[in-house]
């Protein structure tokens, strides 16, 4: 499951990088690490609670859109 999570996050991350720009990418998305994929949910690890909450509040939809595009089907994110 770790390999599937890493591959899916890698594909979605490239899309996020293009959509958000380099500065936003480096600040908010680059530090995030995939932990595992469970069915249609990708579990990601943020570097701290503030980072996790900020991503959930501001970019959850964008992350799930990028994951869905990468997977070819809807994927939820859990941070």
Instruction: Tally the domains of the chain.
Output: 1
Domain that holds residue 18: 2-78
Burial class (CB in 10 A: 0-12, 13-18, 19+), 29: buried
Sites in the chain below the pLDDT cut of 70: 1
pLDDT of 1: 62
The encoded tokens of residue 12 equal: 């979605």
Q: What is the CATH number of the domain that holds 53?
A: 3.30.300.180
Helix H or strand E segment including 33: strand 33-38
Beta bridge partners of 41: 38, 76
């Amino acid at each position: 499951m770790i390999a599937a999570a890493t591959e899916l996050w890698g594909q979605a991350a490239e899309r996020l990088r293009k959509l958000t720009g380099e500065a936003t990418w480096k600040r908010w998305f680059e530090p995030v690490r995939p932990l595992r994929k469970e069915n249609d949910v990708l579990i990601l690890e943020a570097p701290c609670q503030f980072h996790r909450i900020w991503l959930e509040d501001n970019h959850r939809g964008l992350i799930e859109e990028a994951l869905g595009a990468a997977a070819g089907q809807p994927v939820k994110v859990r941070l």
